[in-house]
Amino acid sequence: MNIQNKIVAVLALTLSLATFSQAAETKTLRFGISPGPYGDLVAKAIQPGLEKKGYKVDFVTFQDWVQPNLALNNKETDVNVFQHVLYLRKFSADHNLELSQLIKIPTAGLGLYSSKIKSLKALKKGDEITLALDPTNLARSLRFLNKAGLITLKAEIDQTKATLHDIATNPKGLKFVPTEAAQLPRTLGSAAIAVVPGNYAISSGLNLSDAILLEELTEDTKNIIAIRTENLNTPWAKDIIAVVESEEFKKAVEDRKNIFFSFQKPDWYKAKWNIK
């Protein structure tokens, strides 16, 4: 074999090895999601950008708000998209998990939904209101009802930890029934009002515009992409952030054909894209 042929052979081998190495390094990112719009948000606004960067995206669907964080901690998923940071902090502390916020995303808030009444003024004394059972979202629902003027909470409490025992006044004598969040839309046949998280409202066929009243979200109640703390500074985590902060993500979110067009945006998003 002459020198020229040897050079060609070496180059061919190098290219072959590079191609093999690139294929071997293709990273599959496993997103834990719950039923509702956030899986669609990942599929339409995040997955395409990650695939352009050479990643494969898989989805693992959970039916409750407990298993997603346990699976993330156990390395059955790489990130999850279903919760706000207050829930993550509480759950991580209660279960001794090392999980963190990666980035906030557009979010559908709580809504007061009813199949029986059209306005809060139509509530009767002793009517039943269903709301989330888990402590973080129970407190959040109580804050929402407080702001709606249906109850008042005790002044001296930490409202992020409010319970039914912290209700100071309840003028209509409303009955509050804590319920698994995923089951709340099913209570509309019996309860006067259900306080339903946005993802479960949408997944059950409700429109955000159907709500008697929608929650105005704080930054702490806007949803996040959660990750194991040990992976916060990995290249693939930084790639997820880059995709979420990209023009392509914004175009998908602002597309009026997508349900998440009406979602409330995180502060970083509004600042980056000059949205009020």
Instruction: Give pLDDT tens digits along the chain (276 positions).
Output: 555 544 444 444 444 444 333 334 569 999 999 888 999 999 999 999 999 999 999 999 999 899 999 999 999 999 999 999 999 999 999 999 999 999 999 999 999 999 999 999 999 999 999 999 999 999 999 999 999 999 999 999 999 999 999 999 999 999 999 999 999 999 999 999 999 999 999 999 999 999 999 999 999 999 999 999 999 999 999 999 999 999 999 999 999 999 999 999 999 999 999 998
Domain CATH number, residue 131: 3.40.190.10
pLDDT of res. 162: 97
Assess whether 85 and 128 both reside in one domain.
no
Verify that 185 and 52 share a domain, yes or no: no
In single-letter form, the type of residue at position 210 comes to D
**Domain co-membership, 16 together with 103:** yes
Specify the pTM: 0.86
The answer to whether residues 186 and 226 belong to one domain is: no
- Residue 26, pLDDT score: 66
Phi, psi for residue 73 in degrees, rounded to 5 = -60, -35
Question: Do residues 94 and 231 both lie within one domain?
Answer: yes
Query: Coil, helix or strand for 224?
Result: strand
Alpha carbon distance 11, 180 (integer Å): 61
Residues 158 and 25 in one domain: no
117/175 same-domain check = yes
3-state SS assignment for residue 169: strand
My answer on whether 256 and 210 are in the same domain is no
101 and 157 together in one domain? no
Tell me how far apart the alpha carbons of residues 44 and 249 are, in angstroms, rounded to a whole number.
8
Q: Are residues 201 and 255 in the same domain?
A: no
The residue type of 233 is N
Q: Identify the pLDDT of residue 12.
A: 44
| Phi and psi angles of residue 164, each rounded to the nearest 5 degrees, phi first | -60, -25
Distance between CA atoms of residues 106 and 180, nearest Å: 23
Number of folded domains in the chain? 2
pLDDT of residue 6: 46
Cβ-count burial of 49 within 10 angstroms (0-12 exposed, 13-18 middle, 19+ buried)? buried
Domain endpoint, select from 216, 231, 262? 216
3-state secondary structure of 244: helix
Domain span including residue 53: 3-107+220-272
Can you tell me the distance from the alpha carbon of 69 to that of 170, in angstroms, rounded to the nearest whole number?
A: 35
Asked whether residue 91 falls in the same domain as residue 47, the answer is yes
Judge if 121 and 207 occupy the same domain: yes
Q: Which two tokens stand for residue 235?
A: 């290249």
